[in-house]
Amino acid sequence: QVQLVESGGGLVQTGDSLRLSCTASRGIFGDYAIGWFRQVRGKEREFVAAIKWSGDSTFYADAVKGRFTISRDSAKKTAYLQMNSLRPDDTAVYYCAAARVWLLKKDSEYPYWGQGTQVTVSS
């Protein structure tokens, strides 16, 4: 089974950009769709974006559409979340997750998760 590690979080200002990475170890990276989720303390984890195992299909939550871009590099076994025009309400812990099924938006449908990386956007 795949194991995931996120990196790239940090403290930025409104309007800045940040790129998160999700690197897989064990398992076959190309077998999995990768999803990004985020969670604010005290709230439910929410879907952000997902990319198919082939890399040729993506979909996004409305809140990030046009500002965030998900991609993947199979050779590096890494998925990315490029976040532009960041806003304070993007502040959250960001998680990547993997699943063998496509078009999943519920966190309960993803069996494999990373540990999360904190993104804080100051106003």
pLDDT of residue 87: 98
How would you write the pLDDT of the chain (123 residues) with one tens digit per residue? 899 999 999 999 999 999 999 999 988 899 999 999 999 999 999 999 999 999 999 999 999 999 999 999 999 999 999 999 999 999 999 999 999 999 899 999 999 999 999 999 999
Half-sphere exposure of residue 4: CA atoms within 13 angstroms, side-chain side: 27
**What pLDDT score was predicted for residue 1?**
87
pLDDT score, position 27: 83
What b/e string do you get for 19-48 counting C-beta neighbours within 10 Å, with b at 16 or more? ebbbbbeeeebeebbbbbbbeeeeeebebb
For 10, the 3-state DSSP assignment is strand
Within a 10 A sphere around the Cβ of 119, how many other Cβ atoms? 21
Considering only CA atoms, give the Rg of the chain.
13
Residue 9 token pair: 């979080």
